[in-house]
Amino acid sequence: MEILSLVLSALSLVLLILLLVRQNAGAARHMWTPLDDRLNKLQTDLQRQEQGLRQELNSSVQTLGTLLSGNQRQAAQSSQDALARLEERLKTLESHNEQKLEAMRETISKRLGDIQMDNSQRLEQIRLTVNEKLQETLESKMNQSFERVSKQLEDVYKGLGEMQTLANGVGDLKKVLSNVKTRGILGEVQLGAILREILAPGQYEENVAVTKQVVEYAHARGVTVEGELGQLAGVEDDVSVEADKANYTDPGQVQDFVGRTGVDSLAIAIGTSHGAFKFKPGQKPQLRFDILQEVMDRLPGFPIVLHGASSVMPEYVALVNQYGGQMADAIGIPEDMLRKAASMAVCKINVDSDLRLAMTAGVRKHLAENPTHFDPRQYLGEGRDCITAVVKHKIESVLGCAGKA
């Protein structure tokens, strides 16, 4: 293309010169004739060269077109090849990413599995630790309870031994007291000692004063008070009263006591006692209903309470003994006596020993039949069921208060 431009420029210059020459041709035509010939020849040569150049140019254009066409096809092929390679790369990258994602999912799943397993192991370890602590606490409490019961039984057996010793000495005492005068003198001395110990001066007044203070404090806060007149034998809350130290309620004091203290109900002593060993084997259970009747006459309609009135139900005593207990001599208040008391002025009868006995029987039975159990919710559940049965029986068959709430 540059050669063609140069040729055209040269032709233009020559033509311009020719025009200028022809303007002055008239004057010096004969001088320029050789020059015209040469110019014509040059023009012919230029035309021939121009034609050759045109042919060469056309050939070059065609060649260029062919080259461009080939380049286009080659470029298209290259583009297709590049697209193919790109698609292959994309597929390879996608496959690689999927492999990485799958590996990542497997790693995460494995980590989650390890975490769950570790948590399960930790929870199991915590559960075992808690169970171990509970088992140790339970065993400690049960051992303490059994030790306390064993000590109480030892005290009972010791008391029985002392009573046997006393019984052996009764024969000797009987010989000494065979004289009527000696018996009278000794009886007076013993009666005086008993009266001084049981009816000590100020004892009743102290009971009145303390109870009155309690009533004033409780009533100011909307709380009722249950007074107590007389003293029961047996063990209650680590307080032990020997049978010979117990005393019945004096009916002659009840009106004065209730009037001066202002109590809302009154617990009296008519032969009941605390604990499960209320009577000795062969001893006839007896309640002083005559005292209860006189109290009713002196306090008409006033609520009377019996403490230490558990019947120590034989079926639960047998269940305790069957599963390792030692309560062969446990005897309580006969239920027919309690029914009679409930039909009179007694509005409340305490049967805590029966409930403790039922709980112990249920727990002993469950642990004996299920030696692998250690969860308190398991064995205490059976104990609660036994208590529920005792309460239902008492309400329906002993206390006579079913449907009267």
The CATH number given to whatever domain includes residue 213 is 3.20.20.70
Domain total of the chain? 3
User: Letter for the amino acid at 263?
Assistant: V
Q: Going by C-beta distance under 8 Å and a sequence separation of 6 or more, which residues neighbour residue 266?
A: 226, 227, 228, 229, 254, 257, 258, 295, 299, 302, 303, 304, 305
Element at 236 (helix H, strand E): strand 234-236
Residues 215 and 180 in one domain: no
CA 224, 225, 226, 229 torsion-angle sign = negative
Query: For residue 2, which of 56, 65, 66 has the smallest C-alpha distance?
Result: 56
Token pair 């039975």 is found at 365
User: Does residue 205 share a domain with residue 184?
Assistant: no
Question: Is 281 within a domain?
Answer: yes
Residue 250 phi/psi, 5-degree rounding, is -90, 110
Q: What is the mean pLDDT of each run of 10 residues along the chain (405 residues)?
A: 64 69 53 61 73 74 73 74 82 83 84 84 83 77 71 63 53 50 41 42 84 93 91 50 60 94 92 63 79 94 87 85 83 84 87 88 92 90 92 88 78
Q: Which tokens hold the place of 41?
A: 């020849």
In the chain, the largest separation of any two C-alpha atoms, in whole Å, equals 211
CA angle 378, 383, 384 (to 5 degrees): 95
**One domain for residues 302 and 313:** yes
The pairing of strands 265-268 and 226-229 is parallel
Which domain range does residue 43 map to? Answer: 1-20+32-64
pLDDT at 161: 59
Q: Do 161 and 209 lie in a common domain?
A: no
pLDDT at 135: 78
380 vs 339: CA distance, rounded Å? 30
Strand partners, 306: 268, 349
Q: Is residue 125 part of a domain?
A: no
pTM above 0.75, yes or no: no
Contacts of 11 (CB under 8 A, 6+ apart): 46, 50
Which of 336, 334, 344 lies closest to 303, judged by CA? Answer: 344
Domain presence at residue 73? no
| 3-state class (DSSP) for residue 348 | strand
Tokens linked to 206: 């102290």
Contact 364, 318 (CB under 8 A): no
Structure tokens at 335: 């239920």
**Residue 177 and residue 205 in one domain:** no
Do 194 and 208 belong together in one domain?
no
Whole-number pLDDT of residue 170: 46
Check: CB of residue 217 under 8 Å from CB of residue 263.
no
Q: CB of 222 within 8 A of CB of 263?
A: no
Helix, strand, or coil here: 331? Answer: strand
Together in a domain, 188 and 205: no
> Does 337 share its domain with 222?
yes
